[in-house]
Amino acid sequence: NDGSDEFSRAVAAQEFYPYYQPVIDLTTGKVAGCEVLVRWIRDDGSIVPPGAFLPYAEATGLIREITRQLMAKTVDEVAALYERHPDFKLSINLTASHFDNTDIISEIRETYLGSGIDFRQLVFEVTEQHPLRDLELSHQIIKEIQAMGAAMALDDAGTGHGGLAYLQKLGFDIIKIDKMFIDRVCFDVTSETIVHSLYDIADRLGLKMIAEGVDSEDQIAYLRGLGVTYAQGFIFAKPLPAADFIAYVEKMA
Ligand code: G
Ligand code: G
Ligand code: MN
Ligand code: NA
C-alpha cells in the first residue's frame, strides 16, 4: 500500500482532468484556443499539480494512459465549444515516451475522429527539455500526426538541449517560447535578444510563435512590437476547469 499503488489506483479511477489555459491572439485580443494542462483531482477535492506526479508518470509509462484519458475528457468537455469555434486550437502536451512507438497515432485518431474536435484544431506539443530517444522514429510519428491535419509545436523553446536540432530534424509548425525568457523582457537585454532571435527563426522558417507565461502589459507591448501573434499567461487567464474556460470564451466573444 505504498505511493505507487495509490498512483495506479488514481489512474484506474480516472482522477486526472484537463485544465484549459486560454491562448490569446495579440492582434485581435480574442481567444485563439487553449493549452490542456493536467490536474490530479483527488477524492477529497484536493488538486495535485503536474510537477508532483509527472516525473513518476513518465518514468512508469503511466503518462500514456493519463494522456489517453485527458484527450477523451477534452471531447466530453469542449467538443461542443470547438464546433462553435472552428478556428480554435487545442494544444496537448506529449512526452518523450509517446515517441518510443507509433501507438499515439491511432490513439489520437480514435479519440478525435468524428468527435466534434477536428484534427485541424489539434496541436501536439513536444518539450525540448527531455531527450527524444529515437529522432528518426519521432520524425515519422510527427509526420503522421501532421498528415491527419494536426500541428506540432516545440515547447519550452530555448530551455533544453535538443532545440535547434529538433527544429532542423523534426519539422515543427509552431515554436512556444518559454516563460523563462518572457519573464525578463523589458528588464534584460540578453532575454530580449533570445526572444528576438527565436522570433526571427520562426519567421524565416514560416512557423508560428506562441509566448508563454505572459504576465504584464509591458510584455504584451514588447511581443506585439516584435510581431509575435499568440500569447498565454496569467495576465489573460490561469489554466481553468472546463466550465470556467467556456465561460471565459463566451465573455470574450
Ligand atoms: O500547469 P502547470 O503550469 O502546473 O504545468 C507544469 C508542467 O507540467 C508544465 O511544464 C507542463 O508542460 C507540464 N504538463 C502539464 N500538463 C501536462 C500533460 O498533460 N502532459 C504532459 N506531458 N505534461 C504536462
Ligand atoms: O507545457 P508548459 O511547460 O509550457 O506549461 C505551462 C506552465 O506554465 C503551466 O504550468 C502553467 O500553469 C504555467 N503558466 C502559464 N502562464 C503562466 C504565467 O503567466 N505565470 C506563471 N507563473 N506560470 C504560468
Ligand atoms: Mn506546454
Ligand atoms: Na513551457
Which pTM was predicted?
A: 0.96
What is the distance in A from the centroid of ligand 2 to the CA of 109?
Answer: 28
CA distances from 169 to 32, 139, 172, 208, 214 (A): 28, 7, 9, 17, 29
Nearest CA to ligand 2 atom 12: 239
> Is this prediction's ipTM beyond 0.90?
yes
Q: How many domains does the chain have?
A: 1
What is the distance in A from the centroid of ligand 3 to the CA of 211?
Answer: 11
For residue 242, which of 82, 12, 65 has the smallest C-alpha distance?
A: 82
Question: What CATH number did the domain enclosing 146 receive?
Answer: 3.20.20.450
What is the distance in A from the centroid of ligand 3 to the CA of 83?
Answer: 23
Instruction: Please write the tens of the pLDDT for every residue from 68-119.
Output: 999 999 999 999 999 999 999 999 999 999 999 999 999 999 999 999 999 9
Domain coverage including residue 129: 3-252
Please work out whether the CB of residue 162 comes within 6 Å of at least one atom of ligand 2: no
Q: What is the pLDDT of residue 2?
A: 67
Q: How far apart are alpha carbons 207 and 115 in whole angstroms? A: 27
Ligand 1, pocket residues at CB < 6 Å: 37-38, 49-51, 54, 63, 70, 93, 95, 239
